[in-house]
């Protein structure tokens, strides 16, 4: 088995408007950089499918889907908040992004790949059940978690979100559900205003949310301390059947939208820790989806660091077996 890499030029069709940080250029620059890497040809190249509506409806309401569809038909400039820019193709691109996540799941569960990463857009972790926000239309990772549970019968799913912005939509989707552990490291206080340490889930889901708010200026050592003291023990005790990553790279020190100071190499360190967690409880099953990351030089380098670690782990596993 190897590492899957999912991409499609149709992800470029979502156009949030001139000057918007979440531009198609993010993917163009990243793909060009990845193609220069010596290990890139060894990745299993995958293509997305359009997601079936029933899976999107596990997280979003039918009325919301209709609102998004109608807004795109009418070519509205934005939906719900001005930062969620739209174009005529945004609805279909959003369904394709969700379908990309589901395709990765199918490949992992079939044993055709060990782990995988989707270079896709629009991102998803801010999307609420009935509202778009924070550049996001559909909550890709939340839908993926539900898909793994309902389609494949997995009992416990871990979502680690290292995007610099808290994934409010993902947390709210699962805050009452003990079967999904949501862990987030993010700048705080910061957009979207959620993600305090005291938000740990509600009702039956109490304790299945772990927020690690990080102060502006935090760097590799601060994140490593949070991992070792809080994140890894929580993940170890949960023992997930699959590991999902909301892989935003906007906590990089060069990113223009935040003030966290992670190095490019530290994304590799976090990837290694998640691979270890996946090996311990999930048979190595790990799926990573692109969220944020807006510096056009260091987003590609950070994604390459992440993918290099994923693919190296797959090669080592293949050599051992």
CB 64 within 8 A of CB 130: yes
Reported as half-sphere exposure (CB side, CA atoms, 13 A), residue 239 has a value of 2
DSSP for 106-148, written as a single string: HHHHTTSEEEEEE--SS--TT--SS--BTTBSS-HHHHHHHHH
Judge contact between 306 and 289, C-beta under 8 A: no
Q: What is the pLDDT along the chain (321 residues), one digit of tens a residue?
A: 799 999 999 999 999 999 999 999 999 999 999 999 999 999 999 999 999 999 999 999 999 999 999 999 999 999 999 999 999 999 999 999 999 999 999 999 999 999 999 999 999 999 999 999 999 999 999 999 999 999 999 999 999 999 999 999 999 999 999 999 999 999 999 999 999 999 999 999 999 999 999 999 999 999 999 999 999 999 999 999 999 999 999 999 999 999 999 999 999 999 999 999 999 999 999 999 999 999 999 999 999 999 999 998 666 666 655
What ranges do the domains of the chain cover? Answer: 4-320
Give one DSSP letter per residue of 28-77, joined into a string. Answer: HHHHHHHTTSTTGGGSEEE---PPPHHHHTTTS-HHHHHHHHHHHHTT-S
In angstroms, rounded to a whole number, what is the distance separating the alpha carbons of residues 4 and 111? Answer: 11
C-alpha to C-alpha distance for 71 and 85, rounded to whole angstroms: 11
- Residue matched to tokens 């899976």: 55
The answer to whether residues 246 and 170 touch, using CB atoms and an 8 Å cutoff, is: yes
Residue range 4-320 forms a domain whose CATH class is alpha beta
Taking the C-alpha atoms of residue 130 and residue 187, their distance in angstroms, rounded to an integer, is 25
Sequence-distant (6+) residues with CB within 8 A of 79 are 67, 68, 71, 86, 132, 137
Catalytic residue positions, numbered: 126
């Amino acid at each position: 088995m190897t590492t899957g890499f999912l991409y499609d030029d149709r992800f470029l069709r979502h156009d949030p408007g001139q000057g918007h940080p979440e531009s198609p250029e993010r993917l163009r620059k990243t793909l060009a950089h990845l193609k220069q890497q010596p290990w890139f040809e060894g990745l299993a190249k995958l293509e997305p499918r359009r997601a079936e509506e029933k899976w999107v409806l596990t997280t979003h309401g039918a009325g919301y889907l209709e609102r998004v569809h109608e807004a795109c038909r009418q070519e509205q400039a934005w939906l719900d908040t001005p930062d969620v820019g739209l174009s005529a193709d945004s609805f279909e691109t959003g369904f394709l992004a969700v379908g990309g996540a589901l395709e990765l799941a199918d490949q992992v569960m079939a044993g055709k790949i060990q782990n995988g990463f989707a270079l896709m857009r629009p991102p998803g972790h801010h999307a609420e059940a009935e509202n778009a926000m924070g550049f996001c239309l559909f909550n890709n990772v939340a839908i993926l978690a539900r898909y793994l549970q309902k389609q494949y019968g997995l009992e416990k799913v871990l979502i680690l979100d290292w995007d610099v912005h808290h994934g409010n939509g993902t947390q709210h989707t699962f805050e009452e559900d003990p079967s999904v552990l949501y862990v987030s490291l993010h700048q705080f206080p910061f957009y979207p205003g959620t993600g305090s340490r005291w938000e740990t889930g509600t009702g039956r889901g109490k304790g299945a949310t772990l927020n690690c708010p990080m102060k502006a200026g935090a760097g590799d050592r601060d994140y490593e301390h949070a991992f070792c003291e809080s994140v890894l023990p929580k993940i170890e005790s949960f023992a997930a059947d699959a590991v999902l990553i909301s892989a935003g790279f906007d906590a990089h020190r060069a990113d223009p939208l935040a003030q966290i100071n992670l190095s490019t190499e530290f994304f590799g360190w976090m990837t290694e820790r998640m691979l270890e967690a996946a090996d311990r409880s999930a048979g190595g099953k790990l799926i990573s989806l692109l969220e944020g990351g807006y510096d056009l030089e260091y987003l590609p380098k950070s994604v390459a660091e992440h993918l290099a670690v994923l693919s190296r782990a797959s090669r080592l596993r293949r050599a051992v077996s």
